[in-house]
Structure 1
Amino acid sequence: MSLIEVNACDKLDAIVPDEEYILYNEKLNKRNPEWSFSIVPGFFKQSAPETDDLTYNSFDDHLGLSDGLTWPSLVAKLDELNKSSDPSKERYKLIFSARHGQGYHNLAVQIFGIDEWNNHYSHLEGATTPDGIKLNWAPDPFLTEKGQNQAKLMNATLKKEIKDFNCPLPTKLFSSPFTRSCQTLYITMDGICMNNKIEDSEKPLIAPSRLTPLIKEDLRETIGEHLCDKRSDKSTIEKRLNGWDFRFENGFQHDDIYYKDDWREPIHEQALRANSFLQDVFSNDEYVNDQIVYSTSHSGEMKALIIATGHRQYAVPTAGMIPMLIKAVKN
């Protein structure tokens, strides 16, 4: 059994009803977005319809890089696409979109089952398992030991791809504000383009310089009802990330002003958030020229990004990742 693999809950989470796509497009058109997004086909196996998302293991297959491509050839094609396009009308970016490792809420779903989770346990801060173990998963849970090990596996996989196969380094990092997402990102990037300034300030990096991840509210998990999806306040997040040098986006609120106990965000609304994230990534002057970026978020948010980019529906396990070569066209 692999440390990172799709389970039945992941597959169920990946399904998007047709009416949600319809609602998303109706509401998006009313917003008059600056850019429209699509996936450039042929670069990654995750976007190919013949790839079985239940069995495919991208960790043993260059993160899903299509046959016949190398990382240097992909970067060359990305460079060519951007150089041959008018940037005021068309832009391309490679986004490594990753899901956080197993959190204590994921473990609770595994123990109690998805129906019991949705109907009962998701509204609690924790419970005692049938084995007599007390679990706490809300609000804003940490990674389990398995989740940390999953992120360490991703770290080792990325280092191998970078050192042995010239996988490109991201030049910008983004994260959801939730602890499980930030933890996954700093474990994944430790020794690559991040280190802890307090504990490991002298640790060598593969990247030429240290990157500072930007925490964005748009990358958070589906809002409402589930207590695990209520975020910590800003001060708590800062304490939990001490030494890792994360930065908050402008306007980030100290308290979670979005969470509600009696309302759950529909997936089409979350996809509109994902679209807002992409609009920013492709147009913000701070990182408009970053061709290769890495984001860490959640199963619901990755489903939302799939809707926003037109990527095919794809189940992503805890600590899984989908590389997306995205085309943005000016509306």
Structure 2
Amino acid sequence: MYTPLALAATAAILVSAQTLNVTNSTSGYTSYSTVTGYFLQDEATTNASTFDYTATNFGLINSSYPATTGNLTQWQKFEAQVDALNANAPLNTVYKVLFMGRHGEGYHNAAQTFYGTPAWNCYWGEKDGNATTTWEDADLTPAGIAQALVAATFWQHQITTQLIPYPQSYYTSPLTRCLRTANLTFSALDLPHYYPFVPTVRELFREGISIHTCDHRSSRSSIAARFPSYAIDASLTENDEIWNGVTAEPSDAQDARSKKVLDSVFASDDHAWISITSHSGEIASILRVLGHQVFSLNTGAVIPVLVKAAFLPSGPAPSSPAYTTSTHCAAPPVTSLASLAQGCVCSGTVVGGITTRIDGNGTSSSSGSVAAYPTAYATS
């Protein structure tokens, strides 16, 4: 049998933790780190653009761990290892496995592909839709539905053949594409009664706030009517009070809210195996907060991360970076240049672009200045 000291020493050899720096400035702080060495997505040599989680056992690396013996599947071995890490952790430390899934393709994704990124970012993304399609709070395309069903099939296969641990808690962004993806992925699985699929809808797991209408969520009552079995967090207001079609959330502001929602989950949820259905930009933000390497997800893809959280008496003071005013064009742009802060080269005389909404709920006007547009919002 391995003693706690032997387990800790062996774990230090097997894995490393990319730990965030902590300073003493306020009371109460949760420090997160990604425990590497278990998943291919943690490795610098893994190509995110071609990675297929369904062909790689969710990316779990075949390995033996100090905490496991006997004829077990790789996921059973990993489950035992996570249990051992928690059993031998200090009182202020917990380990959790987050399965973060990106929504399937939405109509906004298809529209960006159709129009091209410059025209999407500078004009079409700020509209509700076109003559044939609506992408405000975008729903899934048929391809996006198929991607969510691929995830469902793979989850069931892993449950049956690999005996993968069931998610014990489910969370989802309040945007339609995530609400639908979560439902298609998990609702038909053979899940235990004690870990039912009842996802909690959390405001702060939403996509980075851009001026694109696809990031404007539906009302709380609409979400409740369409997904009556979901648990809607009390903090979710009736109407979207964050998106306004004028200002955008820079990366540091998004990371601050990502940490806030992670802090809430880690402080209130005792479960070790957690599913989060979210967006490419938001998952990228969470990975930054966790100290994980950059790893972009294709639509419908999933990334598991082993997270170490240390609850400390003090740490950096929380920050609330300001949103920025974004400019765009009143008509499809002439082109887009990387050398410009906004990137949009508008037609006509409005050199600096416009700053008011063009989605039918605002009146366009010109602006003499160009505000920086966060590059993280190029794809949502």
| TM-score bin, normalised by smaller chain | 0.7 to 0.9
Deviations 1:34-74 (A, max 9, x none): 21101001111101111111222121110110122610111
Equivalences for 1:229-308 in 2 at 5 Å?
229-242=215-228, 245-284=229-268, 287=269, 289-308=270-289
Is contact 2:186–2:197 with CA below 8 Å preserved after alignment?
A: no
Is contact 2:216–2:243 with CA below 8 Å preserved after alignment?
A: yes
Q: Whose helix proportion is higher, 1 or 2?
A: 1
- Match status 1:187 vs 2:184: yes
Distance in 2 of aligned mates of 1:84 and 1:71: 20
Instruction: Give 5+ residue unaligned stretches, structure 2.
Output: 1-19, 65-73, 313-380
Of 27, 43, 46, which aligns to 1:48?
43
Deviation, structure 1 residue 321: 1.1
Deviation, structure 1 residue 31: 6.6
Is contact 1:142–1:179 with CA below 8 Å preserved after alignment?
A: yes
Q: Which residue of 1 aligns with 2:157?
A: 160
Using structure 2 for the length normalisation, give the TM-score: 0.71
Q: Which residue of 2 aligns with 1:225?
A: 211
Distance in 2 of aligned mates of 1:261 and 1:30: 35
Equivalences for 1:1-331 in 2 at 5 Å?
34-68=29-63, 70-87=74-91, 89-128=92-131, 134-138=132-136, 140-192=137-189, 205-209=190-194, 210-242=196-228, 245-284=229-268, 287=269, 289-331=270-312
Deviations 1:214-261 (A, max 9, x none): 00011011114111101101111112224xx10111222101011121
Is contact 2:93–2:309 with CA below 8 Å preserved after alignment?
A: yes
Distance 1:53 1:253, change over 3 A: same
Is contact 1:223–1:265 with CA below 8 Å preserved after alignment?
A: yes
Is contact 1:39–1:326 with CA below 8 Å preserved after alignment?
A: yes
Deviations 1:18-44 (A, max 9, x none): xxxxxx989x98776621101001111
Instruction: Give 5+ residue unaligned stretches, structure 1.
Output: 1-23, 129-133, 193-204
1:135 aligns to what SS in structure 2?
coil
Distance in 1 of aligned mates of 2:225 and 2:215: 19
Deviation, structure 1 residue 97: 0.6
Deviation, structure 1 residue 121: 0.7
Is contact 1:95–1:295 with CA below 8 Å preserved after alignment?
A: yes
The one-letter code matched in structure 2 to 1:229 is D
Is contact 2:220–2:238 with CA below 8 Å preserved after alignment?
A: yes
Distance 1:224 1:185, change over 3 A: same
1:95 aligns to what SS in structure 2?
strand
Aligned-residue RMSD, C-alpha: 1.9
The one-letter code matched in structure 1 to 2:114 is I
Is contact 2:203–2:235 with CA below 8 Å preserved after alignment?
A: no
Is contact 2:49–2:298 with CA below 8 Å preserved after alignment?
A: no
Instruction: Give aligned pairs, total.
Output: 283
Is contact 2:104–2:140 with CA below 8 Å preserved after alignment?
A: yes
Is contact 1:104–1:137 with CA below 8 Å preserved after alignment?
A: yes
Deviations 1:96-133 (A, max 9, x none): 011100110011011111111111111001124xxxxx
The one-letter code matched in structure 1 to 2:173 is S
Is contact 2:41–2:303 with CA below 8 Å preserved after alignment?
A: yes
Deviation, structure 1 residue 273: 1.2
2:104 aligns to what SS in structure 1?
coil
Identity within the alignment, %? 29
1:319 aligns to what SS in structure 2?
coil
Is contact 1:223–1:260 with CA below 8 Å preserved after alignment?
A: no
Relative contact order, higher structure (CA 8 A, sep 6+): 1
Deviations 1:172-225 (A, max 9, x none): 000000111010001100222xxxxxxxxxxxx332342311000110111141
Deviation, structure 1 residue 330: 2.1
